[in-house]
Chains A and B, each alone.
Chain A
Amino acid sequence: DAGVTQSPTHLIKTRGQQVTLRCSPKSGHDTVSWYQQALGQGPQFIFQYYEEEERQRGNFPDRFSGHQFPNYSSELNVNALLLGDSALYLCASTQWGDSSNQPQHFGDGTRLSIL
């Protein structure tokens, strides 16, 4: 049973460029959330997708956008990259519903470095 998978594992970009990160949820899960984790800190919620729509959003600018596909996989897009966007980007999946008691399953992340 495959868990959450993310690609690529590492990525190097320069300021001003655009990047797309990808996530496949754990089998049976239909909800995908994205997080940004700066070095030494806890993950920060970016947004959550269910039924191909953004359901919740954290305090991130519009440069951060996403998409969910009919097979529940998801993409995170970041435009006009800044040095401060360097971080580990984590994807987590769960089942929509009574999520208050649903733990989230995480992928190993994409390490994005901006030069």
Chain B
Amino acid sequence: TQLLEQSPQFLSIQEGENLTVYCNSSSVFSSLQWYRQEPGEGPVLLVTVVTGGEVKKLKRLTFQFGDARKDSSLHITAAQPGDTGLYLCAAFTSGTYKYIFGTGTRLKVLA
């Protein structure tokens, strides 16, 4: 069974702090996506990483795909209350079209 484990599960920080969320697996993925989900809404795609070692930046968010394409991280610089939400990593399992999600990281940024 291919699993995506995220850590930490919960995170509560003050506005202006930095944080990193991790997404780990024992499986290799051809690509990996990160989503943010707010209450009452569906997940919204933030980024897709494809190449091992790839780094992508989206304003204050930096995404990295591990060299072996088994893990990924999301770093937020100077977090703001608007960053509050559930962060999910996701990927297609190898050889199938089953799309699996990580266990999720619930972030709360306090003003």
Contact = CB atoms under 8 A, between A and B. Distances in A.
Given A56-B96, A99-B92, A44 B42 contact: no
A108 B37 CA distance: 10
Contact of A100 (B31, B42, B43): B31
Contacts of B48: 101, 103
A56 to B, nearest CB: 5
Interface in A63-112: 90, 92, 99-101, 103-109, 111
B43 A58 contact: no
Bin the interface of chain B by size: 20 to 34
Contacts, number: 62
B103 A42 contact: yes
A60 to B, nearest CB: 12
Interface in B18-60: 30-31, 33, 35, 40-45, 48, 50
Contacts of B96: 56
A101 B50 contact: yes
B92 A100 contact: yes
B106 to A, nearest CB: 7
A97 to B, nearest CB: 10
A39 to B, nearest CB: 10
B101 interface: yes
Contacts of B92: 99-100
Centre residue among A33, A35, A43, A104 by max chain B CB count within 10 A: A43
B66 interface: no
Contact of B43 (A33, A48, A106): A106
8 contacts: A35-B101, A40-B106, A42-B4, A42-B88, A45-B100, A58-B98, A101-B31, A105-B45
